[in-house]
Amino acid sequence: MILVTGGAGFIGSNFVLDWLAQSDEPVVNLDKLTYAGNLENLISLKNDSRHIFVHGDICDFELVASLLKQHQPRAIIHFAAESHVDRSILDSSEFMKTNIDGTFTLLETARQYWNLLDSDKKTAFRFHHVSTDEVYGSLQPNDAPFTETNLYQPNSPYSASKAASDHLVRAWHHTYGLPVTTSNCSNNYGSYHFPEKLIPLVITNALAGKALPIYGDGKQIRDWLYVKDHCSAIRRILEVGKVGEVYNVGGWNEKANIDIVNIITTLLDELKPDSQGSYSRLITYVTDRLGHDRRYAIDARKIERELGWKPAETFETGIRKTVEWYLANQEWVANVTSGEYRLWLDKNYSARQV
């Protein structure tokens, strides 16, 4: 048995689906079901006894402790987080609560649970913390990609809250001996991605004939990682990762935001042509967001060298699969792009100068 937090979100749900596609080991899935948590992602597991869903908050100490006592997991995989930089700029309070307080609650309940295990189970137990490359700050055009030894220089409320959670995980290992591992990943993309982030936003807006908002000059560079590759990396870390180690997980795909948008519009022109012309006509440059980091890039050689992992998808293969998934799952898109999501879009974009 494993316990997954945030397993109804984008990366978490992909991880749960992939895990149960490859293993009969049951999953206890703890998720608060905020705006980005969606049980529709897991509809295929509705009648699967291996998937035990619990609607709850990682900040709820008694709930987490009771789940650990009841299910006796051999590992905790911690995805649950507030993760959108724009939202953290507008209101950072939930980021501090979930990403910092929630991680503390998980670590402390895990420590108490782990201390009561017998020696064999204690040795086998793992707490894996999923983090981000944004904790390292921003790179200049000619800087080397981030390695695991880069200094932490978070530049947004979101990345600062994730940096704090990383430090808590490290401290619980060094102070109490809790067997932890951490992964810092680059930008994920793929199926079930809530359409507030760049790639799903561009796909959904283009299909709806809406503007494709590009912050600033659109030349901000990110390293892109297909979500299923990320899931396979985490499985590999659980299998053979060294206790106390940090592993950077990247896709070796540095691309500027405007190039991503052009790739997507070209794919849509091919897969679902619009009678009004190329979707690229919808590209609209808007005021940049505050403190926008210019470049992220991950050096993923450590995980390849030590654990034998590397991504299976190129950006070209992964983005085609992603666009095809959104075209085939328009009902899912319609269900998530309503209500609170629309209110957020209005709040974030309506005041931006074109």
Which residue in 158, 189, 215, 326 is the catalytic one?
A: 158
From the candidates 31, 133, 166, 293, which is the catalytic residue?
Answer: 133
Token pair belonging to 310? 């590397």
Instruction: Reply yes or no on whether 296 is catalytic.
Output: no
Has 133 been annotated as catalytic? Answer: yes
Catalytic residue among 86, 134, 293, 313: 134
CB neighbour list of residue 172: distance below 8 Å, 6 or more residues apart? 107, 108, 111, 127, 178, 180
- What SS3 string covers 293-321? CCECCECCHHHHHHHCCCCCCCHHHHHHH
Region of 209 (left: φ > 0; alpha: ψ -120 to 50; beta: rest) is left
For 258, 311, 354, the CA distances from 283, given in Å and listed in that order, are 9, 30, 11
Q: Does the active-site annotation cover 158?
A: yes
Helix (H) or strand (E) holding 33: none
Q: What distance, in Å, lies between the first and last C-alpha atoms of the chain? A: 51
95 close to 50: Cβ distance less than 8 angstroms: no
Active site residues: 133-134, 158
